Amino acid sequence: MQIQLDSASPLSIETEALVTFAFEKDDPVDGPLAEFDRATSGRLQELAASHELTGKWLEMVLLHYPGGLKAKRLLIVGAGKQEKFDNTQLRRLAGAAERYLKGRSVKKIVFLLREPRQDAASVQLVAEGLLLGDLDLDKYKSEKKNQKSIEQASILGAGAGAAEAIERARIIAESENWARDIANEPSNRLTPRLLAEHAEKMARESGLEIDILDENRIEEMKMGALLGVARGSAEPPRMIVLTYNPPAAKPGAPVLGLVGKAVTFDTGGISIKPSKGMEKMKYDMCGGITMLGAMRAIARLKPSVKVIAVVPATENMPGGRAIKPGDILFSMSGKTIEVLNTDAEGRLILADGLAYARQLGATHLIDAATLTGAIVVALSTFNVGVFGSDEDFTRRFLDTARAAGEKMWHMPVDDDYAEVMKSPIADLQNISTADGGGASTAAAFLKEFVDDTPWIHLDIAGTAWLDDAKPWMAKGASGVAVRSLVDFTEKM
């Protein structure tokens, strides 16, 4: 989709659809709508009088050939109550308008910003919303119903800095879409080797350094936890490492390590999952792909901090050589782990991922993983669970996420949770002996591998995947956390 700025008058601009929004209030026909009402000899007031135009959230009022306007259609989207209208809603509103119109075969639209949202920040939100709304899940349909897409969007009514805002929106939203697109692939089309190929292609296009460790190098590096999980599968594992070097790196400057779980399919292994719903475990690599998507944007936005992404990728299968409950693994860090449940595999591969990121020089760590069903119990699909070892680092991340419009909630990971992860016969066991608190005990396990490096863990099991489409976004991978990670990296 091409996105550009325009400064023509809304009445005289020629387009397939002119889009703007109305607030829910006694007289929703205000601002630019008052002008459209006069041009159409009072049609909008008529619709308001019959309660067909109220401004309620995502109400769609579509007028064809509105006389007095050059546009072929006028779409007025309900923005809800003005005092509640925030950045997230503007982004979603743009996406919803785009999805509504592309379903009607519209190819060119003009989005008219109105008061009080006419600044560069609003342009960025609209552009992001349009791009995120564009992605659809019909790659494997012979008949591509959703293949229709908006080819050109112009944004009207913006102030200074708008061109840069579009550029920034494009980098971030296209990186989110890159991640969503790959995360939507089923496991037979996205093995660890194929994921590494995607990462390699992206790294080459983005100017990132890449190193992919195959099973031999993984063994040489003594990454026994990752190797243990991979044993049950005929597909070999990969450790994907991407590096972004800033233009002027200072010695002693912080290095951010982004570590992501990429289990391309999680059967549970020998502690096998029930078959009902198991197909969802094709999204168990979303944490790893989130980190790759963030790196794609970071490479283009060129922040001043060095960033290393480390993505352990494997299947979790119950093959004849699979690890069994009770087995003990030697992780790269030197710590031994008693595997009591082979379905708690994410924390095993992250243990080696976190240790390797530290060995490569990361001074600050963030990991993302579809780690536990327990976080879905705690927070449903509404919030990412955030765990951290350093109060200030964690607080700054949470503030950034809030500003980016990604809902995240601070969860505890104190010593009590660590205590119940100790094994009687090894250093650690991979599930806890306590009742409940499964998201926190999983986090406490990870914390054993970061030492005193400031660290944040994002459990995205509930938020990485939409079971149903939203008006502004297709079902499937959500791309959650990419935006916050990119903003946070820039602020470091």
Burial of 261 (0-12, 13-18, 19+ CB in 10 A): buried
Which of 346, 454 has the CB closer to ligand BES? 346
Q: Count CB neighbours of 12 within 10 A.
A: 9
Question: Mapping DSSP to helix (H, G, I), strand (E, B) and coil, where does residue 111 land?
Answer: strand
Euclidean distance between CA atoms 230 and 232, whole angstroms: 6
Q: Which stretch binds ligand BES (CB under 6 A): 2-10, 111-119, 373-381, 383-391?
A: 373-381
Nearest to 331 by CA among 446, 413, 190, 168: 446
To the nearest whole angstrom, how small is the minimum distance from the Cβ of residue 418 to ligand BES?
15
Q: To which H or E segment does residue 67 belong? A: none
* Residue 98 is a binding residue for Zn ion (CB under 5 A): no
Active site residue 56: no
**Phi, then psi, of 320 in degrees rounded to 5:** -60, -25
Of 72, 222, 273, 300, catalytic: 273
* Residue 431 is a binding residue for ligand BES (CB under 6 A): yes
Q: Which stretch binds ligand BES (CB under 6 A): 74-82, 234-242, 295-303, 341-349?
A: 341-349
User: Phi/psi zone of residue 472: left (φ > 0), alpha (ψ -120 to 50 degrees), beta?
Assistant: alpha
Of 91, 347, 358, 483, catalytic: 347
* Residue 230 is a binding residue for ligand BES (CB under 6 A): no
Euclidean distance between CA atoms 290 and 312, whole angstroms: 13
Return the residue of 341, 363, 381, 423 that touches ligand BES, per CB under 6 A. Answer: 341
Instruction: State the residue for tokens 């927070």.
Output: 379
Return the residue of 98, 128, 338, 345 that touches ligand BES, per CB under 6 A. Answer: 345
* Residue 284 is a binding residue for Zn ion (CB under 5 A): yes
* Residue 315 is a binding residue for ligand BES (CB under 6 A): no
Output the CA–CA distances (angstroms, integers) from residue 240 to 198, 257, 265, 458, in the order listed: 11, 13, 17, 19
Q: Which does 341 bind (CB under 5 to 8 A by kind): Zn ion, ligand BES, none?
A: ligand BES
Which of 278, 403 has the CB closer to Zn ion? 278
To the nearest whole angstrom, how small is the minimum distance from the Cβ of residue 459 to Zn ion?
11
Euclidean distance between CA atoms 339 and 361, whole angstroms: 29
Question: Binding pattern to ligand BES, positions 457-486, x when CB under 6 A?
Answer: ----x-------------------------
Active site residue 38: no
* Residue 343 is a binding residue for Zn ion (CB under 5 A): yes
Q: Which stretch binds Zn ion (CB under 5 A): 51-59, 88-96, 259-267, 461-469?
A: 259-267
Q: Which stretch binds ligand BES (CB under 6 A): 100-108, 353-361, 367-375, 406-414?
A: 367-375
Q: Which residue is nearest to ligand BES (CB)?
A: 373
* Residue 343 is a binding residue for ligand BES (CB under 6 A): yes
Euclidean distance between CA atoms 480 and 186, whole angstroms: 19
Return the residue of 266, 338, 448, 459 that touches Zn ion, per CB under 5 A. Answer: 266
Q: Count CB neighbours of 16 within 10 A.
A: 17
Q: Give how many residues touch Zn ion by CB under 5 A.
A: 6
Q: 274 Cβ partners below 8 Å, 6+ apart? A: none
User: Phi/psi zone of residue 51: left (φ > 0), alpha (ψ -120 to 50 degrees), beta?
Assistant: left
Which residues lie near ligand BES (CB under 6 A)?
266, 284, 341, 343-346, 370-374, 376, 431, 438, 461
Which residues lie near Zn ion (CB under 5 A)?
263, 266, 284, 343, 345-346
